[in-house]
Amino acid sequence: MSKLRRSERIVDLTQYFISHPHTLIPLSLFAERFQSAKSSISEDIDIVQEMFKQRGIGELITLAGAAGGVKFIPKISKEEAEDSIITICKELSHKERLLPGGYLYMSDIIGNPNRLRQIGRMFASYFAHEAIDAVLTVETKGIPLAHATANYLNVPVVIVRRDAKITEGSVVSINYLSGSSKRMQTMFLARRALKENSNVLIIDDFMKVGGTIKGLIGLLKEFNANLKGIGVLVETDGADERLVENYVSLAKLVHVNEKDEMVDVQLGNYFERGKYNEVNLNK
Residue type, 15: Q
Cα separation, 56 vs 146, in Å, equals: 22
Query: How far is the first Cα of the chain from the last one, in angstroms, to the nearest whole number?
Result: 49
Does the domain at 78-267 match CATH 3.30.300.210? Answer given as no
Please check whether residue 265 is in contact with residue 233, taking contact to mean a CB–CB distance below 8 angstroms. no
CA 171 to chain centre: 25
| Tens of pLDDT, residue by residue, the chain (283 residues) | 567 899 999 999 999 999 999 999 999 999 999 999 999 999 999 999 999 999 999 999 998 877 789 999 999 999 999 999 999 999 999 989 988 877 789 999 999 999 999 999 999 999 999 999 999 999 989 999 999 999 999 999 999 998 888 888 899 999 988 766 678 899 999 999 999 999 999 999 999 889 999 999 999 999 999 999 999 999 998 766 788 989 999 999 998 877 777 899 999 999 964 444 444 444 4
Q: 3-class DSSP state for residue 253?
A: strand
Cα separation, 125 vs 148, in Å, equals: 12
Q: So what's the pLDDT on residue 166?
A: 83
CA distances to 122, 233, 240 from 141, rounded to whole Å, are: 18, 11, 25
Q: What CATH number is given for 6-74 in this structure?
A: 1.10.10.10
Cα separation, 50 vs 278, in Å, equals: 31
Alpha helices in 70-141, H assignment, sequence order: 78-92, 107-110, 113-126
Q: So what's the pLDDT on residue 281?
A: 43
Strands (DSSP E) along the chain, which ranges?
58-63, 69-74, 98-99, 103-104, 134-138, 157-160, 171-177, 184-190, 199-207, 226-236, 248-257, 262-267
Residue type, 191: R
Q: Is 61 exposed, middle or buried (0-12, 13-18, 19+ CB in 10 A)?
A: middle
Residue type, 92: L
Q: So what's the pLDDT on residue 265?
A: 94
Cα separation, 132 vs 130, in Å, equals: 6
Q: So what's the pLDDT on residue 276?
A: 43
Q: So what's the pLDDT on residue 267?
A: 94
What Rg value do the Cα atoms of the chain yield, rounded? 21
DSSP 49-75: HHHHHHHTSEEEEEE-STT-EEEEEE-
Domain limits, the chain: 6-74, 78-267
Q: Is the overall model pTM greater than 0.85, yes or no? A: yes
User: Which residues contact residue 102 at a Cβ distance below 8 angstroms, ignoring those fewer than 6 apart?
Assistant: 208, 236, 253, 256, 258
